[in-house]
Chain A
Amino acid sequence: MDLTVGSNLFFWTADATRKFYADLAQAPVSRVVVGEVVCSKRLPFWEAEIPTALATLQEAGKDVAISTLGLVTLKRERNQTDDIFGMGVPVEINDITALKHLPENTPFWVGPLVNVYNEGTVAYLARRGATRICLPPELPLASIATLAKAGKEAGVKIEVWGHGRLPLAISARCYHARLNDRAKDNCQFICGEDLDGREVDTLDGQAFLSVNGVQTLSAATGCAAYHTEALREAGVDSLRLSPQTGDFNALCAGYADRIAGNISPEALVAQLLPEAPGGRFADGFFTGPSGSDWAHPIPA
Chain B
Amino acid sequence: MMELVCPAGTPAALRAAVEAGAHAVYCGFSDETNARNFPGLNFSPEELVPAVAGAHKRGAKVLVALNTFPRAGGEKLWHQRLADAEAAGVDAVILADIGLLDYAATHHPNLRRHLSVQAAAANPDAINFYAEAFDVKRVVLPRVLTVAEISAINKEIDVETEAFVFGGLCVMAEGRCALSSYATGLSPNMNGVCSPASHVVYAEEGPDLAAKLGGFTIHRTPKDRPAPYPTLCKGCFTSGEQTGHVFEDPVSLDARHLIPALAKAGVTALKIEGRQRSRAYVAEVVRAFRAATDALADGRELPLAELARLTEGQSATAGAYAKTWR
Contact = CB atoms under 8 A, between A and B. Distances in A.
A143 B71 contact: yes
A146 B73 contact: yes
A205 to B, nearest CB: 7
B75 A119 contact: yes
B237 A201 contact: yes
Contact of A291 (B72, B181, B240): B181
Contacts of A117: 69-72, 97, 99, 189-190
A100 B182 contact: no
Contacts, number: 217
A121 B98 contact: yes
B190 A138 contact: yes
A101 B171 contact: no
Nearest to B142: A172
Interface stretch (B241-249, B260-268, B286-294, B306-314): B241-249
Interface residues of A, number: 71
A251 to B, nearest CB: 22
A96 to B, nearest CB: 5
Contacts of A285: 181-182
Given A78-B123, A211-B239, A211-B246, A170 B189 contact: no
Q: Is the interface of A mostly helix, strand, loop or mixed?
A: mixed
Nearest to B118: A115
A72 B126 contact: yes
Interface string B38-55: 000000000000000000
A204 interface: yes
Interface of A: 71-75, 77-78, 81, 95-97, 99-101, 113, 115, 117-125, 136-139, 142-144, 146-147, 150, 166, 168-175, 178-179, 183-185, 198-206, 208-209, 211, 216, 218, 282, 284-285, 288-292
Contact of A72 (B98, B122, B171, B219): B122
A99 B129 contact: yes
Nearest to A95: B126
A196 to B, nearest CB: 14
B98 A115 contact: yes
